[in-house]
Amino acid sequence: MIKVLVAEDSPVVREFLVYILGSDPDIRVVGTARDGEEAINAARRYRPDVITMDIHMPKMDGLEATRRIMETDPRPIVIVSGSCDPREVATTFNAMEAGALAVLGRPAGIGHPDHEATARGLVQTVKLMSEVRVVRRWPHARRDASAPRPAEIALARDTAKIRVAAIGASTGGPPVLQTILAALPRDFPVPLLIVQHMAAGFIQGFAEWLAQSSGLPVHVAMHGEHLVPGRVYVAPDEFQMKVEHGGKIVLTKDEPESGLRPSVSYLFRSLAEVYGGDAVACLLTGMGRDGAAELRLLRERGALTLVQDRESSVVHGMPGEAIRLDAAMFVLPPDKIAAVLMNLAKKR
Protein backbone atom coordinates (compact mmCIF):
# COMPACT_ATOMS: atom_id res chain seq x y z
CA MET A 1 0.00 0.00 0.00
CA ILE A 2 1.40 3.38 -1.05
CA LYS A 3 0.86 6.09 1.58
CA VAL A 4 0.17 9.54 0.10
CA LEU A 5 -0.04 13.01 1.62
CA VAL A 6 -2.04 15.61 -0.34
CA ALA A 7 -1.01 19.27 0.15
CA GLU A 8 -3.54 21.63 -1.47
CA ASP A 9 -5.12 24.82 -0.12
CA SER A 10 -8.43 24.58 -2.02
CA PRO A 11 -10.90 22.30 -0.14
CA VAL A 12 -12.64 21.35 -3.40
CA VAL A 13 -9.42 20.45 -5.23
CA ARG A 14 -8.03 18.71 -2.15
CA GLU A 15 -11.06 16.41 -1.89
CA PHE A 16 -10.94 15.85 -5.66
CA LEU A 17 -7.34 14.65 -5.46
CA VAL A 18 -8.10 12.49 -2.42
CA TYR A 19 -10.99 10.91 -4.34
CA ILE A 20 -8.85 10.13 -7.41
CA LEU A 21 -5.94 8.70 -5.44
CA GLY A 22 -8.15 6.82 -2.99
CA SER A 23 -9.99 5.13 -5.85
CA ASP A 24 -6.91 3.03 -6.57
CA PRO A 25 -6.63 -0.06 -4.37
CA ASP A 26 -2.86 0.28 -4.08
CA ILE A 27 -2.97 3.85 -2.68
CA ARG A 28 -4.05 5.13 0.73
CA VAL A 29 -4.25 8.86 1.42
CA VAL A 30 -2.92 9.11 4.97
CA GLY A 31 -3.30 12.85 5.43
CA THR A 32 -3.94 16.26 3.90
CA ALA A 33 -2.46 19.72 4.36
CA ARG A 34 -3.88 23.18 3.62
CA ASP A 35 -0.58 25.05 3.44
CA GLY A 36 3.16 24.54 3.37
CA GLU A 37 3.59 24.56 7.14
CA GLU A 38 0.95 21.85 7.56
CA ALA A 39 2.62 19.86 4.78
CA ILE A 40 5.96 19.86 6.62
CA ASN A 41 4.35 18.77 9.89
CA ALA A 42 2.20 16.14 8.18
CA ALA A 43 5.19 14.72 6.32
CA ARG A 44 6.98 14.30 9.65
CA ARG A 45 3.90 12.78 11.29
CA TYR A 46 2.64 10.41 8.59
CA ARG A 47 5.92 9.59 6.84
CA PRO A 48 4.19 9.20 3.45
CA ASP A 49 5.68 7.34 0.51
CA VAL A 50 4.71 10.24 -1.82
CA ILE A 51 3.54 13.83 -1.34
CA THR A 52 1.44 15.67 -3.93
CA MET A 53 2.23 19.36 -3.55
CA ASP A 54 0.41 22.47 -4.74
CA ILE A 55 2.63 25.49 -5.38
CA HIS A 56 0.38 28.44 -4.49
CA MET A 57 -0.64 28.04 -0.83
CA PRO A 58 -1.00 30.46 2.12
CA LYS A 59 1.46 30.88 5.02
CA MET A 60 4.15 28.94 3.15
CA ASP A 61 4.06 28.06 -0.56
CA GLY A 62 4.80 24.68 -2.05
CA LEU A 63 8.27 25.70 -3.20
CA GLU A 64 9.47 26.51 0.31
CA ALA A 65 7.70 23.47 1.75
CA THR A 66 9.39 21.24 -0.82
CA ARG A 67 12.77 22.75 -0.02
CA ARG A 68 12.37 22.23 3.73
CA ILE A 69 11.05 18.67 3.43
CA MET A 70 13.95 17.71 1.16
CA GLU A 71 16.42 19.29 3.57
CA THR A 72 15.05 17.57 6.71
CA ASP A 73 13.06 14.39 5.97
CA PRO A 74 13.16 13.78 2.20
CA ARG A 75 10.16 12.21 0.48
CA PRO A 76 9.22 11.77 -3.19
CA ILE A 77 7.25 14.93 -4.09
CA VAL A 78 5.00 15.36 -7.13
CA ILE A 79 3.99 18.93 -7.97
CA VAL A 80 0.33 19.09 -9.03
CA SER A 81 -0.20 22.48 -10.63
CA GLY A 82 -3.41 24.19 -11.59
CA SER A 83 -1.63 26.44 -14.09
CA CYS A 84 0.41 25.80 -17.22
CA ASP A 85 0.97 29.55 -17.75
CA PRO A 86 4.67 29.83 -18.73
CA ARG A 87 4.97 32.93 -16.54
CA GLU A 88 4.03 30.89 -13.46
CA VAL A 89 5.66 27.59 -14.38
CA ALA A 90 9.13 28.86 -13.36
CA THR A 91 8.15 28.49 -9.71
CA THR A 92 7.13 24.91 -10.41
CA PHE A 93 10.54 24.08 -11.86
CA ASN A 94 12.26 25.83 -8.97
CA ALA A 95 10.50 23.24 -6.80
CA MET A 96 12.03 20.52 -8.96
CA GLU A 97 15.43 22.14 -8.44
CA ALA A 98 14.71 21.90 -4.71
CA GLY A 99 14.08 18.16 -5.03
CA ALA A 100 10.56 17.50 -6.37
CA LEU A 101 10.58 14.59 -8.81
CA ALA A 102 7.78 15.39 -11.26
CA VAL A 103 5.27 18.01 -12.28
CA LEU A 104 1.72 17.33 -13.46
CA GLY A 105 -1.24 19.44 -14.40
CA ARG A 106 -4.28 19.10 -12.16
CA PRO A 107 -6.56 16.33 -13.49
CA ALA A 108 -9.57 17.48 -15.48
CA GLY A 109 -12.89 17.51 -13.64
CA ILE A 110 -15.38 14.65 -13.60
CA GLY A 111 -17.39 14.73 -16.83
CA HIS A 112 -14.57 16.35 -18.80
CA PRO A 113 -13.43 14.29 -21.84
CA ASP A 114 -9.88 14.20 -20.43
CA HIS A 115 -10.85 13.27 -16.88
CA GLU A 116 -10.07 9.56 -17.04
CA ALA A 117 -6.74 10.00 -18.85
CA THR A 118 -5.48 12.78 -16.57
CA ALA A 119 -6.66 11.03 -13.41
CA ARG A 120 -4.93 7.84 -14.55
CA GLY A 121 -1.77 9.86 -15.24
CA LEU A 122 -1.76 11.19 -11.66
CA VAL A 123 -2.19 7.71 -10.19
CA GLN A 124 0.50 6.21 -12.40
CA THR A 125 2.95 8.99 -11.60
CA VAL A 126 2.39 8.62 -7.85
CA LYS A 127 2.99 4.88 -8.12
CA LEU A 128 6.17 5.32 -10.13
CA MET A 129 7.55 8.04 -7.86
CA SER A 130 6.92 5.92 -4.77
CA GLU A 131 9.70 3.63 -6.02
CA VAL A 132 12.27 6.41 -6.41
CA ARG A 133 15.12 6.76 -3.95
CA VAL A 134 15.39 10.34 -2.72
CA VAL A 135 18.28 11.89 -0.83
CA ARG A 136 18.56 14.78 1.55
CA ARG A 137 19.23 18.16 -0.04
CA TRP A 138 21.67 20.17 2.07
CA PRO A 139 20.75 23.86 2.40
CA HIS A 140 22.51 25.98 -0.22
CA ALA A 141 24.77 23.07 -1.16
CA ARG A 142 26.34 23.35 -4.59
CA ARG A 143 28.77 21.02 -6.30
CA ASP A 144 31.95 22.64 -7.49
CA ALA A 145 32.14 22.59 -11.27
CA SER A 146 35.62 21.19 -11.12
CA ALA A 147 37.57 20.53 -14.27
CA PRO A 148 37.34 17.01 -15.70
CA ARG A 149 40.21 14.62 -15.30
CA PRO A 150 42.96 14.66 -17.95
CA ALA A 151 41.47 11.56 -19.60
CA GLU A 152 38.17 13.42 -19.96
CA ILE A 153 39.89 16.42 -21.52
CA ALA A 154 41.72 14.30 -24.08
CA LEU A 155 38.51 12.62 -25.32
CA ALA A 156 40.57 10.28 -27.50
CA ARG A 157 39.32 11.72 -30.78
CA ASP A 158 39.30 14.88 -32.88
CA THR A 159 36.53 16.96 -31.30
CA ALA A 160 36.88 19.67 -33.94
CA LYS A 161 34.52 17.58 -36.09
CA ILE A 162 31.60 17.88 -33.64
CA ARG A 163 28.68 19.60 -35.41
CA VAL A 164 25.74 18.93 -33.07
CA ALA A 165 25.00 18.00 -29.45
CA ALA A 166 21.94 16.28 -27.97
CA ILE A 167 20.72 15.39 -24.48
CA GLY A 168 17.92 13.05 -23.39
CA ALA A 169 16.45 13.11 -19.86
CA SER A 170 13.46 11.96 -17.84
CA THR A 171 12.77 11.81 -14.08
CA GLY A 172 15.09 14.21 -12.27
CA GLY A 173 16.28 15.77 -15.52
CA PRO A 174 15.22 19.44 -15.27
CA PRO A 175 17.67 20.57 -12.56
CA VAL A 176 20.49 18.58 -14.20
CA LEU A 177 19.81 20.25 -17.55
CA GLN A 178 19.76 23.59 -15.78
CA THR A 179 23.19 22.87 -14.27
CA ILE A 180 24.65 21.89 -17.63
CA LEU A 181 23.19 24.78 -19.63
CA ALA A 182 24.17 27.35 -17.01
CA ALA A 183 27.79 26.24 -17.36
CA LEU A 184 28.01 26.46 -21.16
CA PRO A 185 29.63 29.57 -22.66
CA ARG A 186 27.70 32.00 -24.84
CA ASP A 187 29.93 31.05 -27.77
CA PHE A 188 29.12 27.33 -27.52
CA PRO A 189 29.93 26.34 -31.10
CA VAL A 190 27.21 23.81 -31.99
CA PRO A 191 23.40 23.56 -31.71
CA LEU A 192 22.06 21.58 -28.74
CA LEU A 193 18.88 19.47 -28.97
CA ILE A 194 16.99 18.33 -25.84
CA VAL A 195 14.30 15.72 -25.25
CA GLN A 196 12.93 15.91 -21.70
CA HIS A 197 10.07 13.60 -20.75
CA MET A 198 7.42 15.79 -19.16
CA ALA A 199 3.67 16.08 -18.63
CA ALA A 200 1.89 17.90 -21.44
CA GLY A 201 1.48 21.63 -21.07
CA PHE A 202 4.72 22.46 -19.29
CA ILE A 203 7.35 22.43 -22.04
CA GLN A 204 7.06 26.12 -22.97
CA GLY A 205 7.46 27.16 -19.34
CA PHE A 206 10.29 24.67 -18.94
CA ALA A 207 12.20 26.20 -21.87
CA GLU A 208 11.71 29.69 -20.44
CA TRP A 209 12.89 28.49 -17.02
CA LEU A 210 16.06 27.02 -18.54
CA ALA A 211 16.68 30.27 -20.42
CA GLN A 212 16.68 32.25 -17.17
CA SER A 213 19.95 30.65 -16.03
CA SER A 214 21.59 29.99 -19.41
CA GLY A 215 23.65 32.31 -21.55
CA LEU A 216 22.35 30.43 -24.59
CA PRO A 217 18.99 31.13 -26.26
CA VAL A 218 16.57 28.32 -25.33
CA HIS A 219 13.26 27.74 -27.11
CA VAL A 220 10.77 25.03 -28.04
CA ALA A 221 11.73 23.62 -31.43
CA MET A 222 9.64 24.46 -34.50
CA HIS A 223 9.08 22.33 -37.57
CA GLY A 224 11.36 23.19 -40.47
CA GLU A 225 13.74 25.52 -38.66
CA HIS A 226 17.45 25.20 -39.35
CA LEU A 227 19.90 24.46 -36.56
CA VAL A 228 22.04 27.40 -35.48
CA PRO A 229 25.23 27.02 -33.39
CA GLY A 230 24.88 28.21 -29.83
CA ARG A 231 21.12 27.71 -29.63
CA VAL A 232 19.14 25.18 -27.58
CA TYR A 233 16.11 23.40 -29.06
CA VAL A 234 13.65 21.63 -26.73
CA ALA A 235 11.32 19.00 -28.22
CA PRO A 236 7.66 20.07 -27.97
CA ASP A 237 4.75 18.15 -26.43
CA GLU A 238 3.31 15.26 -28.42
CA PHE A 239 5.74 15.48 -31.34
CA GLN A 240 8.68 13.31 -32.32
CA MET A 241 11.72 15.44 -33.12
CA LYS A 242 14.44 14.50 -35.60
CA VAL A 243 17.05 16.18 -37.77
CA GLU A 244 17.46 15.91 -41.53
CA HIS A 245 20.44 16.48 -43.82
CA GLY A 246 21.16 20.16 -44.10
CA GLY A 247 20.61 20.67 -40.36
CA LYS A 248 16.81 21.02 -40.43
CA ILE A 249 14.50 20.10 -37.54
CA VAL A 250 11.52 17.94 -38.45
CA LEU A 251 8.58 17.44 -36.06
CA THR A 252 6.29 14.51 -36.76
CA LYS A 253 3.24 12.77 -35.33
CA ASP A 254 4.92 9.38 -35.75
CA GLU A 255 3.83 6.79 -33.21
CA PRO A 256 5.15 7.00 -29.62
CA GLU A 257 8.14 4.77 -28.89
CA SER A 258 7.78 2.81 -25.63
CA GLY A 259 4.82 5.10 -24.96
CA LEU A 260 6.92 8.24 -25.39
CA ARG A 261 6.45 11.17 -27.74
CA PRO A 262 8.87 12.91 -27.86
CA SER A 263 11.31 10.02 -27.60
CA VAL A 264 15.06 10.26 -27.08
CA SER A 265 15.50 7.14 -29.23
CA TYR A 266 13.78 8.83 -32.18
CA LEU A 267 16.08 11.87 -32.00
CA PHE A 268 19.27 9.88 -31.44
CA ARG A 269 18.57 7.61 -34.43
CA SER A 270 18.32 10.62 -36.70
CA LEU A 271 21.58 12.01 -35.33
CA ALA A 272 23.32 8.72 -36.07
CA GLU A 273 22.00 8.77 -39.64
CA VAL A 274 22.65 12.45 -40.40
CA TYR A 275 25.74 13.30 -38.32
CA GLY A 276 27.31 9.95 -37.44
CA GLY A 277 30.60 10.57 -35.68
CA ASP A 278 30.21 14.35 -35.84
CA ALA A 279 27.86 14.36 -32.83
CA VAL A 280 28.03 14.34 -29.04
CA ALA A 281 25.09 12.75 -27.21
CA CYS A 282 24.25 12.38 -23.54
CA LEU A 283 21.70 10.43 -21.49
CA LEU A 284 20.73 11.82 -18.09
CA THR A 285 18.72 10.52 -15.14
CA GLY A 286 15.42 8.86 -15.98
CA MET A 287 13.22 5.78 -15.77
CA GLY A 288 13.18 3.15 -18.47
CA ARG A 289 15.49 2.60 -21.43
CA ASP A 290 14.66 5.41 -23.84
CA GLY A 291 17.69 6.32 -25.92
CA ALA A 292 20.08 3.68 -24.57
CA ALA A 293 20.27 1.43 -27.65
CA GLU A 294 20.45 4.48 -29.92
CA LEU A 295 23.29 5.92 -27.83
CA ARG A 296 25.17 2.70 -28.56
CA LEU A 297 24.41 3.16 -32.26
CA LEU A 298 25.86 6.68 -32.06
CA ARG A 299 28.99 5.34 -30.36
CA GLU A 300 29.37 2.72 -33.08
CA ARG A 301 29.16 5.50 -35.67
CA GLY A 302 32.02 7.32 -33.94
CA ALA A 303 30.08 9.88 -31.89
CA LEU A 304 31.16 11.04 -28.43
CA THR A 305 28.72 9.51 -25.89
CA LEU A 306 28.20 10.47 -22.24
CA VAL A 307 25.86 9.31 -19.47
CA GLN A 308 25.13 10.56 -15.98
CA ASP A 309 26.59 8.54 -13.11
CA ARG A 310 24.48 6.56 -10.63
CA GLU A 311 25.44 8.65 -7.60
CA SER A 312 24.00 11.89 -9.00
CA SER A 313 20.97 10.35 -10.77
CA VAL A 314 17.52 10.40 -9.22
CA VAL A 315 16.76 7.30 -11.31
CA HIS A 316 19.58 5.50 -13.09
CA GLY A 317 17.36 3.61 -15.53
CA MET A 318 18.21 5.25 -18.86
CA PRO A 319 21.92 5.86 -18.21
CA GLY A 320 22.25 2.51 -16.46
CA GLU A 321 20.86 0.69 -19.49
CA ALA A 322 23.27 2.59 -21.73
CA ILE A 323 26.18 1.49 -19.53
CA ARG A 324 24.95 -2.12 -19.70
CA LEU A 325 24.93 -1.90 -23.50
CA ASP A 326 28.45 -0.40 -23.53
CA ALA A 327 27.02 2.72 -25.14
CA ALA A 328 28.84 5.27 -22.97
CA MET A 329 32.38 6.49 -23.52
CA PHE A 330 32.21 8.49 -20.27
CA VAL A 331 30.12 8.12 -17.08
CA LEU A 332 30.10 11.47 -15.28
CA PRO A 333 28.22 13.68 -12.78
CA PRO A 334 26.44 16.76 -14.21
CA ASP A 335 29.24 19.23 -13.51
CA LYS A 336 31.75 17.02 -15.34
CA ILE A 337 29.36 16.59 -18.28
CA ALA A 338 29.19 20.37 -18.52
CA ALA A 339 32.98 20.55 -18.29
CA VAL A 340 33.41 18.08 -21.18
CA LEU A 341 30.98 20.09 -23.32
CA MET A 342 32.83 23.30 -22.42
CA ASN A 343 36.05 21.58 -23.45
CA LEU A 344 34.49 20.90 -26.84
CA ALA A 345 33.80 24.61 -27.16
CA LYS A 346 37.41 25.46 -26.30
CA LYS A 347 38.75 22.95 -28.80
CA ARG A 348 36.55 24.43 -31.50
Which tens digit of pLDDT belongs to each residue from 186-234? 999 999 999 999 988 899 999 999 999 999 999 999 999 999 999 999 9
CA distance 258 to 204: 23
- Which of 197, 270, 309, 316 is flagged as catalytic? 197
Same domain, 320 and 190: yes
* 24 and 88, same domain (yes or no): yes
Contact 323, 294 (CB under 8 A): no
Q: Any catalytic annotation for residue 335?
A: no
Residue of 49, 54, 61, 290 marked catalytic = 290
Which of 130, 170, 265, 270 is an active site residue?
170
Please indicate, yes or no, if residue 140 is contained in any of the structural domains: no
Please compute the mean of the pLDDT values over residues 306-327 and round it to a whole number: 95
* Total structural domains within the chain: 2
Residues 246 and 316 in one domain: yes
Q: Verify that 86 and 169 share a domain, yes or no.
A: no
Judge if 72 and 187 occupy the same domain: no
Mean pLDDT of 284-305: 96
Mean per-residue pLDDT of the chain: 90
The segment with the largest mean pLDDT, out of 132-141, 147-156, 262-271, is 262-271
Q: Is residue 136 part of a domain?
A: no
Active site residue 290: yes
Concerning whether 170 is annotated as a catalytic residue, the answer is yes
What is the CATH classification number for the domain harbouring 49? 3.40.50.2300
Inside any domain, residue 137: no
Domain-embedded: residue 143: no
Indicate whether 156 belongs to any domain.
yes
Domain range for 200 is 150-347
